[in-house]
Amino acid sequence: MKIVLLGHGNMGQEIEKLINESGKHQIVAINLEHLGDQIDEKEVRKADVVIDFTSPQIVVENIKKVAALGVNMVVGTTGWYKNIDEVEKIVTESGTGLIYAQNFSVGANIFFQVVAHAAKLMTRFGNYDVYGFEVHHTGKKDSPSGTALRIAKEIMGNFPSKSVVQTEKLDRKINPEELHFASIRGGRNPGFHQVTFDSAADSITLSHAAHNRRGFAEGALLAAEFILGKKGLFTIDDVFKSEGGEK
């Protein structure tokens, strides 16, 4: 499979390293390595799939340009989901395929399902409250992380007393329906997410810690193989379903 990388930050470099190690795929080109660079349309046309790990400020424009060239995409950039309807329209009208995720790590996607199941159990047994927090390196471009928002979605979908995610600093008493999910930025942490269910009797804590970015890169390439030749908008959940996983 011929791949064009958009962005050459931490994730772009990790994907490049993994591709070079495996020899299974080929990098046709790396675009948007530096601020102000432009997508090279000639190079993109050579690709089977484009993988984007750039910035939420430019990702929708990248999607427009790549879709217009008729090439499928994997989008690992987060922080653009308010534009999801626009992106779905772009993909549909261009007849291309696009897959996105808040987190491409296989372990993180298993963690989503573990948290969802735990939330169901907590509502059935015991008087539990729930909260979470996440930690990322100083170079993280969005807050809260897309992974944190996905975790919050899984909790609220299975924990009826929580209907609003609150990610800001609170200078007041939290409302019962609010799920507080805090963010910390500092150091070099590639990603840590924790959820705690707390009651008068006990506490249960679940967490996922990325040791490095390799798991994210592996998931992005798995997604690239999945989206090859497909049309429409997909998420990483569709990959898990195709692999026999259960959402």
Name the residues annotated as catalytic. Answer: 136, 140
Contacts of 75 (CB under 8 A, 6+ apart): 52, 59, 63, 98, 99, 100
- Angle at which helix 214-227 crosses helix 106-124, to 10 degrees, equals 100
- CA-to-CA distance for 46 and 31, rounded, in angstroms? 13
Whether the Cβ atoms of residue 213 and residue 190 lie closer than 8 Å to each other = yes
What are the backbone dihedrals phi and psi of residue 35, each rounded to the nearest 5 degrees, phi first? -60, 130
Distances (CA, A) of 107 to 15, 67, 198: 17, 30, 24
Whether the Cβ atoms of residue 3 and residue 224 lie closer than 8 Å to each other = yes
Calculated CA dihedral for residues 124, 126, 128, 134, nearest 10 degrees: -70
C-beta neighbour count of 122 within 10 angstroms: 21
Calculated CA dihedral for residues 139, 140, 142, 143, nearest 10 degrees: -110
Structure tokens at 140: 């993280």
